[in-house]
Amino acid sequence: MLKNLDHLFDEVKGGKKKKIAVAAAEDLDVLKIVDQSMKMGLADFILIGDADKINNMAVENGYNLDLEIIHRPDHKSAAEKAVETVRQGKAGAVMKGLLHTGTFLKAVLNKDTGLNRGKLISQISVYDKEYGGEGLQLLTDCAMSIQPDLAEKKQIIENAVELALKLGYDKPRVALLSAVEVVNPAIPDTLDAAILSKMGDRGQIKNCVVDGPFALDNAISPEAAMHKKIAGEVAGNADVLVVPNLQVGNVLTKSLVYFAGKKVAAAVMGAGAPIVMTSRTDTIENKLLSVALANYISG
């Protein structure tokens, strides 16, 4: 199991570099990540977009990008070609460059030519655990599902469990977060948490232990769980935190970065291959961690 995000870097650097197909790569921020990733040995790339712009940017900024560049100046075509390279086995992951998210995801999720597995796709933030010794903690969904219903929350859990297993967990402990740790009919997400917990007990959600609702403190801190007299395998020891909606997930993951100063990698799961979709405001280190994570879990 990975001990922390630094261990992720070490593991990827020591392994075989896989290729990531970048859609609409004619962007200075994207080329900077590509250059840094290659220097660190994190991944190889296929750049898809306006070849003239890509080459000119590389020359002007001193990037020696000795890799394949496919000329597709139209963003729709660039996204489709990036997905095609993954489907053909030429790349193990796909990365969003300088194009609209909707255009990118439309190509990724196309039922006939994309990477669609018929599942919900969801975003997962990955960071070093604060409590409970070594290991990584997963937080989801922080960027994709605005107000997931019960069925969508089940898929969000399954996506996070799939990632956790790839990161070395045998049976990840999943905590369903709310403002309180008791079922309260006035707070609908606590009802969802109770139902999902029972679904986990009956094997409808596999390869993990699901429990909730939990407030954040008693999901991650054994001391907080003890003070509240909350028992169970997950209480105070969660590996995966599932938030009730995007607002909570987005604020919480940004709080980790800006208030706590934690390094955070991001993964998008649910498609037929890893998807790299970083924010333009992410730090260089966090973008590199997301590239390393995609490489680590691909193929």
Tens digits of residue pLDDT in 131-142: 877 899 999 999
Confirm if 78 and 24 have CB atoms less than 8 A apart: yes
Task: Band the pLDDT of 209: cuts 50, 70, 90.
Answer: very high
Q: What is the mean pLDDT of residues 83-93?
A: 97
Percent of the chain whose predicted confidence (pLDDT) is above 90: 94
Tell me which residue has tokens 């973008």.
287
Instruction: Using pLDDT thresholds of 50, 70 and 90, give the confidence band for residue 32.
Output: very high
Sign of the torsion formed by the C-alpha atoms of 229, 233, 237 and 243: negative
pLDDT at 55: 96
Phi, psi (rounded to 5 degrees) for 212: 160, 170
φ, ψ (nearest 5 deg) of residue 280: -65, -20
Give the residue-averaged pLDDT of 29-41.
Answer: 95
pLDDT at residue 54 is higher than 70 = yes
- pTM for the model: 0.96
Nearest to 256 by CA among 87, 143, 159, 130: 130
Sign of CA dihedral 265, 268, 270, 274: negative
Q: Which comes out higher in pLDDT, residue 294 or 14?
A: 294
Query: What is the tens place of the pLDDT at every residue in 160-169?
Result: 999 999 999 9
Q: What is the pLDDT of residues 238-266, one digit of tens each?
A: 999 999 999 999 999 999 999 999 999 99
Contact 251, 270 (CB under 8 A): no
Q: Considering the chain, what is the average pLDDT of its residues?
A: 96
pLDDT of residue 131: 83
Assess whether the previous peptide bond of 213 is cis (omega < 30° from 0): yes
120: number of CA atoms within 13 Å, CB side?
Answer: 23
What is the structure's pLDDT at 193?
A: 98
Residue 203, pLDDT > 90, answer: yes
Predicted confidence band at 299 (pLDDT cuts at 50, 70, 90)?
Answer: low
Q: Name all domains of the chain by residue range, CATH numbers in brackets.
A: 5-117+272-297 (3.40.50.10950), 122-258 (3.40.718.10)
Residue 1, pLDDT score: 86
| SS3 state at 20 | strand
The tens digit of pLDDT for each residue in 108-151 reads 999 999 999 999 999 999 999 988 778 999 999 999 999 999 99
Bridge partners, 242 (sequence order): 140, 176
Alpha helices in 129-221 (DSSP H): 150-166, 188-201, 216-220
Residue 14: pLDDT band with limits 50, 70, 90: confident
pLDDT of 65 strictly over 90: no
